[in-house]
Structure 1
Amino acid sequence: MKSTIRSSVDVSRLFSQGKRFSTPFATVLVLKRTEQHDHDLHGRVAFIAGKKLGNAVWRNAAKRRLRAIVCDLGGPWEGWDVVISARSAILKASYSKVSHACEKALEKAGLINPASR
């Protein structure tokens, strides 16, 4: 996935201005990109796994799982910035449970159409 958010300024903007959708396994923040902030409006995604999850092996496993779910759900979404922050429950849950919860959060955010899935 090429379209990742790398700038801490962009991530901070998402946390302060974005709309938050929570699941037991992850928190999803979304913000519509506007022309005043960005030159192009391609979609971008960032994945966050804090040290509460455990060592680097566990954090990377959580981020890999979230990347795969976003790819399966058709992300990154044109014109949107998305941050997905992993919660500790993600490590013990099955892939299908995490995927279903993320899908529901993204449906609530308006990024994916429930009829198309």
Structure 2
Amino acid sequence: MLTLKASSDFQRIAKAGRKWTGSAFIMQVLKSEDASSPFRIGFTVSRRVGGAVQRNRAKRRLREMVRLFLKSGAPKGYDVVLIAKTSAGSMDFAAMCAEFQKGIAAMGVALK
């Protein structure tokens, strides 16, 4: 799993990408100029989510959700940012995964 680290990448995706809102997270997706570029993902968990323990739990759950999604094959040419909401740390994990699949489909991310 390639992760986005640079602030400029997050800003570029926020400015030019499409946005989908779920109950546990907000998903921002930008199709890369190069269709053969690898799938990259970034995670944002602000202090609004809670203390350090809640933020770390939310990040772990988001990473695991994406890891399970990518197990079936990573789509190429997309940059995705997941912004955690307060419920990301406490929502049922299966429901969160289903919500992620729904968001990916709504954003038109073509699977392999």
Q: TM-score, normalised by structure 1?
A: 0.85
User: What's the offset of the Cα at 1:41?
Assistant: 1.3
Secondary structure, aligned partner of 1:45:
strand
Is 1:49 the counterpart of 2:45? The answer is yes
C-alpha contact (below 8 Å) 1:45/1:76 kept by paired residues: no
- For 2:80 and 2:10, the matched residues in 1 are separated by 9
Q: % of aligned pairs identical?
A: 28
Following TM superposition, by how much is the alpha carbon of 1:24 offset from its aligned partner in structure 2, in angstroms?
Answer: 0.6
Q: 1:17 to 1:52 in 2, by over 3 A?
A: same
Question: 1:45 offset after TM fit, Å?
Answer: 0.2
Distance 1:84 1:32 in 2: 15
Q: 1:79 corresponds to which letter in structure 2? A: G
The alpha-carbon distance between structure 1 residues 34 and 42, as it changes in their structure 2 partners (threshold 3 A), is same
Alpha-carbon RMSD: 1.8
Query: 1:94 — aligned with what?
Result: 92
Change over 3 Å in CA distance of 1:76–1:50 after alignment to 2: farther
Matches within 5 A, 1:51-90: 51-74=47-70, 77-90=75-88
The answer to whether the 8 A contact 2:61-2:89 is kept is no
**Structure 2: which amino acid aligns with 1:104?**
K
- Secondary structure of the residue aligned to 2:14 is helix
Deviation at 1:105, TM superposition (A): 0.4
Q: CA deviation at 1:76?
A: 5.0
The question of whether the paired residues in 2 share the 8 Å contact of 1:70 and 1:76 is answered with no
Structure 1 stretches of 4+ with a deviation exceeding 2 A read none
How many Å separate the matches in 2 of 1:104 and 1:98? 10
Work out the CA distance in 2 between the residues paired with 1:49 and 1:76: 23
